A and B are shown apart, each in its own frame.
Chain A
Amino acid sequence: MNNVTNGAIAKASHRKKIHDWMVVVILLVLLIAAFTISANTGTIRLSPMELFRTLFGQGTPQQELILFEFRLPRMVISLLIGAGLAVSGCIMQGVSRNGLADPGILGINAGAGLMVMLFVLLFPSMQTTNSLFLLPALALIGSGAAAILIYALSYKKGEGISPTRLLLSGIGVAAGISAAMIIMTLKLTPESYTFVANWLAGSIWGSNWKFVMALLPWLIVLLPFAYYKANVMNVLNLGDQTASGLGTAIEKERILLLAAAVGLASSSVSVSGGIGFVGLVAPHLARKLVGPKHKMLLVTCALVGALLVLVADTITRSLPLQKEIPTGLIVAIIGAPYFLYLLSRSKG
């Protein structure tokens, strides 16, 4: 009898594993397809064959220029920030045990936005060349500061931080910051306003290899770290009492994980502007696809996030409009209806 059940469980878990890997493979295929289409999008078209040849150094100089200098860096950045924001959201939702948590909630976008707006307000002439790398750095400082503030506000002696308090403090601080930003909005020149509004709405503007290099180290360190801590997140999900009963140093792990999430999100936001919806939606989608165990969840989540932002950015570039609509808006416009659909289908 016992053997039979064990066999059944083993079989079921085997089937689950196959299912999960199928999901990952399908997502990868979709990513490659999106990548090909995206590389092909723009005034000068590159057919898949040409793309392939150019990638391996066999293209015409013009094709190489277009691909390597213009399209590829922007696409790589889309993929990276998609993965970064999605995993950041996944960690936050795991740590706070709340499906509403995302980088926007923890004040990352608000903090970064405040610094960017302050900078544009104080040095209106410096938005173009000089600030290319200054802005991301400022954004990073702003988001980090907001995150620390929110953490400190939700910390209580003896109790540590409660997930609910963290979420509520985040909402409060974000509201406070956006109030401050309203005052500044009124003092901006129309040009500066357009720049800031585009930045806040998440237009991927840092589209060259230097930005890729600035972003990459963060992801190379923090994504594997998150994967390494997957089991810790699984345990944290069981609730504080169980987790500490199982010998987890809750407070320490939470700080580490939150710091990782903040690092991922703020480095991404510093390059992409305030793309807000990926961190909320990608973990939910991933959970639908592979369930709540974090190892598989994080991988799927990164892929879903990367796919979402890449597709959104491709749509942005292919819309026949006189002005480019920021990628972050397209993310929300395609992500939100699907999220609502999922929400209506889900139980509990």
Chain B
Amino acid sequence: MKLSESSDSPAQSNHNQSPTQFHSRPWAASLILTVGLGLLAFGIALSLSFGAASIRLEEVWNAVFHFKPELQNHQIIWEIRLPRILGGVLIGICFAVAGAIMQGMTRNPLADSGLLGLNSGASLAMAICFALFPGSSFLQLMLYSFVGAALAVVMVYGTSSISKSGLTPVRLVLAGAAVTALLSALGDAISLYFDVGQDLAFWYAGGLSGIKWVQLGIVLPWVVAAFIGALMLSRSITLLSLGDEIALSLGQRTGVVKVVGMILVLILAGAAVSLVGSIGFVGLIIPHITRKLVGVDYRWIIPCSAIMGALLIVFADLAARMINAPEETPVGVLIALIGVPFFLYLARKERRAL
């Protein structure tokens, strides 16, 4: 069986699955990709010109493409706004794609890097850094954050995979809850003991405004590599999302796919957490919406999730700067504000048992 991109045709309905589950809408996906890119460009432009100093779009264009260091507005755009906005795009992509991969692989609509403990692992690593190595560079922070996320993944997957009945979605979430409790307890204990709790809170809540070119330069190659990896893995993820048995019978090496997928997820989540801290709901909501719009083929879901995630963060950040200007509202809070009602709406509609 092949999941071709023109799966609107009735020929796609397979006797194993109900036809609706194979629904894939390439035209919707292409629309999202093109319109999404356009909207993203618009959002970025808007974001660049809006702020404490309002700058005309023409000048924004000049600042980006004909940068003159002696002009103050150019400085603002180049040194403050551009890294911040690109950072927003990047973390939107990271959280959304990580969420999409996890939901596909675990067949669990609730899977996201927060629920499975990754964010708490990365946060623990950050707490250790702040408490014990206060002078760490950003590269070190990011690498520790990878290690922390990896620790959580190893624990969650280790627990679930040692057990006889394997990786059921419920087991995975239970293990995630326990690992989250453990790692965040350790993190809290460290930050309370060393009095770095509020510093950490500031770091996390400061969100996008703290992002610098140096950090972007360090994070970017990892994210690009992970994103390309995700695209290459997307077909396998689609098959995995049909269930382990089906994937196996179709010749998938499910073990390899899961390991590679998990590595991609922890690079994405670790990078994003080290940039802005744990922002919930992006990884949960975006893949949900995307699946509703484009169907079940992860070759479409992953790029579309990336675009939509970037859009969500860029516009949320724009709103976060406007709501209470000149003070900033933490972007994570704003996303929760959008995310919670949506999640509650999903919860009301959800008929499947967990």
Say whether B173 faces chain A, with CB atoms less than 8 Å apart: yes
Is B333's CB under 8 angstroms from A180's CB?
yes
Given the known A-B contacts A194-B197, A333-B182, are A171 and B343 also in contact in the complex, defined by CB atoms under 8 Å?
yes
Is A98's CB under 8 angstroms from B354's CB?
yes
User: Which residues in window 229-258 of A have CB below 8 A to B?
Assistant: none
Say whether B192 faces chain A, with CB atoms less than 8 Å apart: yes
Q: Which residues from A are CB-within-8-Å of B337? A: 176, 179
Per-residue 0/1 for A290-303: is the Cβ within 8 Å of any B Cβ (1 yes, 0 no)? 00000000000000
Is A185's CB under 8 angstroms from B205's CB?
yes
Is A340's CB under 8 angstroms from B181's CB?
no
| Segment of B20-28, B96-104, B160-168, B231-239 in the binding face | B160-168
| Segment of B47-55, B219-227, B254-262, B345-353 in the binding face | B345-353
Most buried by A among B192, B343, B346: B192
Q: Which residues from B are CB-within-8-Å of A339? A: 178
Is B353's CB under 8 angstroms from A175's CB?
no
Q: Which residues from A are CB-within-8-Å of B163? A: 343-347
Which size bracket describes the interface of B in this complex? 35 or more
A11 → chain B, closest Cβ, in Å? 29
Q: How many inter-chain residue pairs (CB < 8 Å) link A and B?
A: 158
Complex Cα spacing A34 to B102, Å:
42
Most buried by A among B173, B189, B330: B189
Given the known A-B contacts A98-B354, A172-B343, A325-B193, are A347 and B165 also in contact in the complex, defined by CB atoms under 8 Å?
yes
Given the known A-B contacts A183-B333, A193-B198, A333-B186, are A343 and B343 also in contact in the complex, defined by CB atoms under 8 Å?
no
Complex Cα spacing A188 to B175, Å:
34
Given the known A-B contacts A175-B280, A182-B201, are A325 and B178 also in contact in the complex, defined by CB atoms under 8 Å?
no
Q: Which residues from A are CB-within-8-Å of B344? A: 153, 168-169, 172-173
Say whether B332 faces chain A, with CB atoms less than 8 Å apart: yes
5 A-B pairs with the lowest CB-CB distances in the bound complex, closest first? A168-B347, A179-B336, A336-B182, A332-B185, A176-B340
A-B contact pairs, 20 of them (CB 8 A): A163-B353, A168-B110, A168-B343, A175-B280, A175-B336, A175-B340, A176-B337, A179-B280, A182-B332, A185-B201, A186-B205, A193-B201, A197-B192, A280-B178, A329-B186, A332-B185, A333-B185, A336-B179, A340-B179, A344-B160
Contacts beyond the supplied A100-B174, A172-B340: 20 A-B pairs with Cβ under 8 Å: A167-B354, A168-B346, A168-B347, A171-B347, A179-B280, A179-B340, A182-B332, A193-B201, A201-B185, A281-B178, A323-B193, A326-B192, A328-B185, A333-B189, A336-B178, A336-B179, A340-B155, A340-B175, A340-B179, A343-B178
B interface residues (Cβ-Cβ under 8 A, vs A):
110, 155, 158-160, 162-165, 170-171, 173-175, 177-179, 181-182, 184-186, 188-189, 191-193, 195, 197-198, 201-202, 204-205, 280-281, 329-330, 332-333, 336-337, 339-340, 343-344, 346-348, 350, 352-354
